[in-house]
Amino acid sequence: MRNFLAITVHVDDILLCSEARIVEAMRLIWTRLKVIVEPSCAVPLAAIMDQPEQFQGKRVAIILSGGNVDLDALPW
């Protein structure tokens, strides 16, 4: 319940993105930074890629964490 209260007080919007876009974001992170991230870590970049107009002209930071990925099961 505390988490729900924190969300209702502090969160203005929730963005969604497709699994395909998440995989695309994972691949982009790998090709540009040579960092393997788990899908949940790629969600913020995927949302930015889906709705760039919401972020235009703003400074955006994404925390890349978690390399808990089976390298033999990468989606590309």
For 3-57, the pLDDT digits (tens) are 999 999 999 999 999 999 999 999 999 999 999 998 999 999 999 999 999 999 9
- pTM of full prediction above 0.85: no
Q: Which structural domain range is residue 36 located in?
A: 2-73
Q: At CA 61, angle to CA 33 and CA 66, rounded to 5?
A: 55
pLDDT of residue 76: 72
Structural domain total, the chain: 1
Confidence of residue 65 (pLDDT cuts 50, 70, 90): confident
N residues, the chain: 76
Answer yes or no: are the C-beta atoms of 71 and 37 closer than 8 Å: no
| One-letter identity of residue 43 | V
Whether the per-residue pLDDT at 66 is higher than 80: the answer is no
Other Cβ atoms less than 10 A from the Cβ of 69: the count is 15
Position with higher pLDDT, 76 vs 43: 43
